[in-house]
């Protein structure tokens, strides 16, 4: 069997993924592209004779990269030129999709074209003379409808056949450079001592981008002269003044005129890709006044179904797990192994499976919204709002879902196309307070602020929201200097989602979650189990068994029961205090001391990593010596409402749960990103709690200076904010004015007149 490689390349929204699914039987995620956290997806085309590997390249509008994903495409071009290239062209948006094809042809490549969405094209009144098209472009072109699979077989035959089509010979393609461009590029290549005809596609692209660069910086004298001469030449020809720094624009015009000529000769192209009725639908769905309420109503419905309808299957999974645990308990003799199987493995697996109903329901809706084309409209409407925290419109749905559960929310960030935006959204979601954190807060607020718990809850959430706003704003300003991808939001035509594509999404998501994130969650559960159940042998302070027999002799049934329970919890406390978890908690206690936490509170934060609910249950056990009732016990042990508030704030922010951590890691594909995010959360939680503590302390000084103190605090916060802002703008401002190939200017906060969009040495 022979292995061949085919690379799939095309615009975003061109139906690339559908075509990929239609062609390949078997799909493999092959980790990331080297050096970047962009997922590499390969599939296998099986024919009786051989096995062909199809690699899906990230979607891109052109070969001049604006994002890391698109850089991947450019960097794969050399490898792709050795195999075959399948270029998906959305024929319902013909002109623009052919730009990428033109660029490929210019670099000397011969992509096989899949003219996708052919049904939409003909329905809108389009027609094409395929023979003529192939003859002029010198490329094989196959009409396909990836969603239904029409035309895919012919395409597969062409992809897997060894022979070259005899009609495609060495005639120049009408999409290739005109003579005058070719001549000047050969000259250009010569100035680098390179033979244009022999150069690799990547090298050609490099020469071309040097030639059309928008400034003379970093160019050789010879190249500058070639540019000037060429600009002069075309200026005379077109009777316009063309500056050598404007060659990029000339090239784009030249490319589109080639495309227009080709299409005029071979096809009737519909005027618009959106039919009239869809424009009407658009004006209703994105209506200035009615659009948002409709979208919000839809969101509430999606939210409700995702988290309420999932309760029943989640209950089944939980009872199934309980049944399994009971079954294991009855079969296995008590001991370390059974404890591991029951509390470590079975409950760990349960902790993974319990998320699946949420994920399935949420992705059912997301698949419908995405496939129908409504998602782009929703993003369009929400963009202004999300821009306030440095995100884009598409981030709205994941952020809102975060209120229910962070795990499906992070998976939902898949709908965000820009990698930077996606990572930023992933970073922010764990700060959104999910439904599981609510009971913890309700319990603690009710305990410490019995008079008006809701007011304090409100305060907590306000702090939470400000933290999200601040972090979003900061990361955006800080990293904008590094990455600046333009905001482009295409409005695809509305389409009816197909059953198959929705089902494919669901299968993939559920499996992906169980396989990738599940393993991390399971491993984490086992680690927490080890911490909380070792060392095994703990010397007890007195003989419980003996005491038990003594109690057994008590006549009164209720009294005996009470005494037994009391004894059990006492023993549990003694065990817990000696386990590694408590030791770890005590070890890190000095770090937490400035926040006014006792070692008991510090210890309870560790199982909080598994699930925030565990914070409360651990506290209950640890505070047993004071009272059965946690609130009472904590008050008795000397915890003030202020330190309780600080503790709640810390609990809210300090760390996402284990499942969220697992999904963050797997979805971002970067452990470095995930771990540094954890540090960021911890630092934020620490700072926020510390500020809250200090502000609270100041406010509690009940003499006449209280107001003064508050004023001091507020003014110092404002001053700090101002200082940080200045620092940030000076950092990114410096980058803006000094570097030669700067990408930050259009977003630079200290953008001045002399930095209008561009850069100055």
Q: Which stretch binds another protein (CB under 8 A): 61-69, 467-475, 555-563, 622-630?
A: 61-69
Give the nearer residue to another protein in terms of CB position, either 380 or 673.
Answer: 380
Binding test (CB under 8 A) with another protein, winner from 384, 539, 753, 754: 384
Question: CA triplet 376, 377, 380: central angle to 5 degrees?
Answer: 90
- Asked whether position 372 contacts another protein by CB under 8 A, the answer is no
- Asked whether position 383 contacts another protein by CB under 8 A, the answer is yes
Give me the long-range contacts of 60-66 (CB less than 8 A, separation at least 24).
60/9, 60/10, 60/11, 60/12, 60/100, 61/11, 61/12, 61/96, 61/99, 61/100, 61/488, 62/99, 62/100, 62/103, 63/100, 63/103, 63/104, 63/107, 63/205, 64/209, 66/485, 66/486
Give the nearer residue to another protein in terms of CB position, either 93 or 651.
Answer: 93
Binding test (CB under 8 A) with another protein, winner from 289, 496, 702, 707: 289
Give the nearer residue to another protein in terms of CB position, either 253 or 587.
Answer: 253
Q: Which stretch binds another protein (CB under 8 A): 169-177, 311-319, 373-381, 579-587?
A: 373-381
d(Cα 599, Cα 582) in Å, to the nearest integer?
9
In three state form, how does the secondary structure of 103-125 look?
A: HHHHCCCCCEEEEECHHHHHHCC
Give the nearer residue to another protein in terms of CB position, either 78 or 282.
Answer: 282
Binding test (CB under 8 A) with another protein, winner from 296, 312, 488, 587: 488
Give the nearer residue to another protein in terms of CB position, either 248 or 584.
Answer: 248
- Asked whether position 390 contacts another protein by CB under 8 A, the answer is no
**Six token digits for residue 61:** 């509008």
Give the nearer residue to another protein in terms of CB position, either 488 or 720.
Answer: 488
Closest CA to 637 of 447, 373, 383, 382: 447
Helices (H), 342-452: 347-353, 356-372, 374-387, 396-401, 406-412, 419-428, 437-448
- Asked whether position 99 contacts another protein by CB under 8 A, the answer is yes
Binding test (CB under 8 A) with another protein, winner from 50, 261, 272, 536: 272
Binding test (CB under 8 A) with another protein, winner from 24, 52, 273, 532: 273
Does residue 76 contact residue 7 with C-beta atoms inside 8 Å? yes
Give the nearer residue to another protein in terms of CB position, either 255 or 666.
Answer: 255
- Asked whether position 127 contacts another protein by CB under 8 A, the answer is no
Give the nearer residue to another protein in terms of CB position, either 277 or 542.
Answer: 277
Binding test (CB under 8 A) with another protein, winner from 303, 380, 580, 682: 380
Query: Which residues, 6 or more positions from 582, have their beta carbon under 8 angstroms from its beta carbon?
Result: 576, 603
- Asked whether position 246 contacts another protein by CB under 8 A, the answer is yes
Binding test (CB under 8 A) with another protein, winner from 130, 292, 324, 345: 292
- Asked whether position 119 contacts another protein by CB under 8 A, the answer is no
Give the nearer residue to another protein in terms of CB position, either 11 or 598.
Answer: 11
Least distance to another protein from the beta carbon of 278, Å? 10
Per-residue mark of binding to another protein, 197-226 (x: CB under 8 A): -----------------xx-----------
d(Cα 174, Cα 180) in Å, to the nearest integer?
14
Cα dihedral 253, 258, 261, 263 in deg (nearest 10): -110
Give the nearer residue to another protein in terms of CB position, either 4 or 278.
Answer: 278
Paired strand residues for 27 = 43
Half-sphere exposure of 351 (CA within 13 A, CB side): 24
DSSP state of 145: B
Question: CA triplet 274, 280, 282: central angle to 5 degrees?
Answer: 75
- Asked whether position 61 contacts another protein by CB under 8 A, the answer is yes
Least distance to another protein from the beta carbon of 205, Å? 13
Least distance to another protein from the beta carbon of 263, Å? 11
Binding test (CB under 8 A) with another protein, winner from 30, 249, 265, 336: 249
- Asked whether position 96 contacts another protein by CB under 8 A, the answer is yes
Query: Which residues, 6 or more positions from 140, have their beta carbon under 8 angstroms from its beta carbon?
Result: 112, 113, 134, 158, 165, 168
Give the nearer residue to another protein in terms of CB position, either 343 or 484.
Answer: 484
Give the nearer residue to another protein in terms of CB position, either 386 or 407.
Answer: 386
Binding test (CB under 8 A) with another protein, winner from 266, 376, 532, 614: 376
**Six token digits for residue 472:** 């979003």
Overall residue count recorded for the chain in this entry: 761
Question: CA triplet 128, 132, 136: central angle to 5 degrees?
Answer: 120
Least distance to another protein from the beta carbon of 246, Å? 6
Which SS3 state, helix, strand or coil, does residue 9 take? strand
Radius of gyration of the chain (CA): 32
Query: What are φ and ψ of residue 145, in 5° steps?
Result: -130, 95
Does residue 355 contact residue 513 with C-beta atoms inside 8 Å? yes
Count of residues in contact with another protein, rule CB under 8 A:
57
Does residue 609 contact residue 658 with C-beta atoms inside 8 Å? yes
- Asked whether position 234 contacts another protein by CB under 8 A, the answer is no
Binding test (CB under 8 A) with another protein, winner from 283, 452, 700, 705: 283
Cα dihedral 184, 185, 190, 192 in deg (nearest 10): 130
- Asked whether position 270 contacts another protein by CB under 8 A, the answer is yes
Binding test (CB under 8 A) with another protein, winner from 381, 531, 615, 644: 381
Give the nearer residue to another protein in terms of CB position, either 92 or 138.
Answer: 92
Binding test (CB under 8 A) with another protein, winner from 186, 219, 248, 642: 248
DSSP state of 393: G
Binding test (CB under 8 A) with another protein, winner from 387, 473, 500, 548: 387
Helix (H) or strand (E) holding 7: strand 3-10
Does residue 193 contact residue 220 with C-beta atoms inside 8 Å? no
Closest CA to 146 of 175, 119, 174: 119
- Asked whether position 568 contacts another protein by CB under 8 A, the answer is no
Per-residue mark of binding to another protein, 329-358 (x: CB under 8 A): ------------------------------
Binding test (CB under 8 A) with another protein, winner from 81, 93, 413, 505: 93
Binding test (CB under 8 A) with another protein, winner from 197, 297, 337, 489: 489
Q: Which stretch binds another protein (CB under 8 A): 91-99, 105-113, 339-347, 677-685?
A: 91-99
Least distance to another protein from the beta carbon of 162, Å? 34
Residue with tokens 């004023």: 711
Residues binding another protein (CB under 8 A): 61-62, 64, 66, 93-96, 99, 214-215, 245-246, 248-249, 251-253, 256, 269-274, 279, 282-283, 286-289, 291-292, 376, 380-381, 383-385, 387, 484, 486-491, 742-743, 745-747, 756-759
């Amino acid at each position: 069997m022979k292995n061949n490689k085919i690379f799939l390349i095309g615009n975003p929204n061109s139906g690339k993924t559908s075509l990929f699914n239609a062609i390949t039987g078997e799909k493999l995620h092959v980790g990331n592209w080297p050096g970047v956290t962009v997922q590499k997806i390969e599939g296998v085309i099986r024919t009786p004779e051989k096995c062909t590997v199809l690699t899906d390249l990230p979607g891109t509008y052109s070969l001049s990269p604006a994002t890391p994903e698109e850089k991947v495409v450019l960097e794969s071009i050399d490898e792709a030129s050795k195999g075959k290239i399948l270029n998906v062209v959305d024929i319902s948006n013909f002109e623009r999709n052919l730009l990428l094809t033109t660029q490929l042809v210019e670099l000397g490549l011969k992509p096989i074209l899949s003219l996708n969405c052919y049904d939409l094209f003909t329905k809108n009144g389009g027609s094409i003379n395929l023979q003529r098209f192939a003859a002029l472009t010198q490329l094989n072109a196959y009409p396909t409808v990836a969603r239904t699979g029409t035309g895919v077989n012919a395409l597969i035959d062409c992809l897997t056949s060894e022979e070259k089509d005899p009609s495609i010979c060495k005639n120049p393609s009408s999409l290739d450079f005109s003579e005058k461009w070719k001549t000047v590029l050969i000259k250009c290549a010569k100035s680098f001592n390179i033979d244009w005809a022999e150069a690799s596609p990547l090298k050609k692209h490099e020469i071309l981008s040097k030639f059309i660069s928008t400034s003379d910086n970093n160019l050789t004298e010879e190249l500058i002269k070639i540019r000037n001469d060429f600009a002069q030449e075309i200026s005379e020809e077109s009777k316009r003044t063309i500056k050598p720094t404007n060659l990029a624009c000339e090239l784009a015009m030249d490319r589109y005129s080639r495309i227009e000529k080709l299409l005029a000769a071979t096809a009737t192209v519909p005027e618009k890709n959106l039919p009239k009725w869809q424009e009407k639908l658009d004006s209703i769905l994105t209506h200035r006044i009615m659009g948002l309420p409709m979208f919000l109503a839809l969101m509430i419905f999606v939210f409700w179904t995702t988290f309420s309808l999932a309760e029943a299957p989640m209950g089944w999974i939980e009872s199934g797990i309980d049944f399994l645990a009971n079954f294991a308990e009855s079969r296995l003799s008590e001991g370390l192994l059974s404890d591991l199987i029951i509390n470590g493995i079975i409950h760990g697996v349960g902790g993974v499976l319990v998320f699946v109903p949420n994920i399935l329901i949420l992705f059912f809706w997301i698949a419908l919204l995405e496939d129908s084309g409504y998602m782009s409209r929703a993003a369009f409407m929400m963009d202004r709002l999300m821009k306030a925290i440095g995100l884009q419109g598409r981030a709205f749905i994941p952020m809102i879902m975060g209120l229910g559960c962070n795990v499906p929310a992070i998976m939902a960030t898949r709908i965000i196309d820009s990698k930077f935006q996606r990572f930023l959204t992933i970073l922010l979601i764990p700060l959104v307070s999910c439904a599981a954190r609510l009971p913890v807060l309700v319990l603690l607020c009710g305990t410490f602020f019995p008079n008006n718990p809701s007011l304090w809850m409100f305060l907590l959430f306000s702090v939470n929201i400000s933290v999200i706003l601040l972090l979003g704003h900061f990361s955006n300003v800080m990293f904008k200097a590094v990455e600046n991808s333009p905001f482009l939001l295409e409005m695809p035509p509305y389409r009816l989602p197909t059953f198959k594509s929705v089902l494919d999404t669901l299968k993939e998501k559920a499996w992906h979650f169980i396989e990738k994130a599940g393993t991390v969650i399971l491993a984490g559960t086992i680690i927490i189990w080890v911490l909380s159940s070792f060392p095994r042998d703990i010397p007890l302070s007195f003989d419980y068994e003996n005491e038990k027999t003594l109690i057994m002799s008590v006549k009164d049934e209720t009294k005996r029961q009470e005494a037994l329970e009391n004894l059990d919890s006492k023993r549990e406390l003694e065990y817990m205090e000696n386990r590694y978890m408590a030791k770890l908690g005590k070890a890190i206690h000095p770090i937490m001391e400035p926040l006014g936490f006792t070692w008991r509170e510090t210890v309870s934060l560790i199982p909080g990593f598994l699930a925030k609910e565990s914070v409360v249950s651990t506290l209950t056990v640890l505070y047993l010596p004071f009272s059965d009732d946690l609130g009472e016990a904590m008050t008795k042990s000397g915890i003030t409402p202020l330190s309780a508030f600080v503790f709640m704030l810390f609990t809210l922010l300090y760390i996402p749960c284990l499942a969220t951590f697992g999904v963050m890691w797997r979805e971002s594909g970067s452990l470095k990103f995930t771990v540094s995010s954890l540090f960021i959360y911890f630092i934020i939680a620490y700072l926020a709690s510390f500020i809250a503590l200090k502000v609270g302390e100041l406010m509690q000084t009940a003499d006449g200076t209280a107001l003064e103190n508050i004023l001091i605090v507020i003014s110092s916060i404002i001053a700090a904010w101002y200082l940080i802002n200045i620092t940030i703008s000076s950092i990114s401002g410096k980058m803006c004015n000094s570097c030669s190939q700067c990408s930050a200017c259009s977003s630079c906060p200290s953008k001045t007149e002399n930095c209008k969009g561009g850069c100055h040495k």
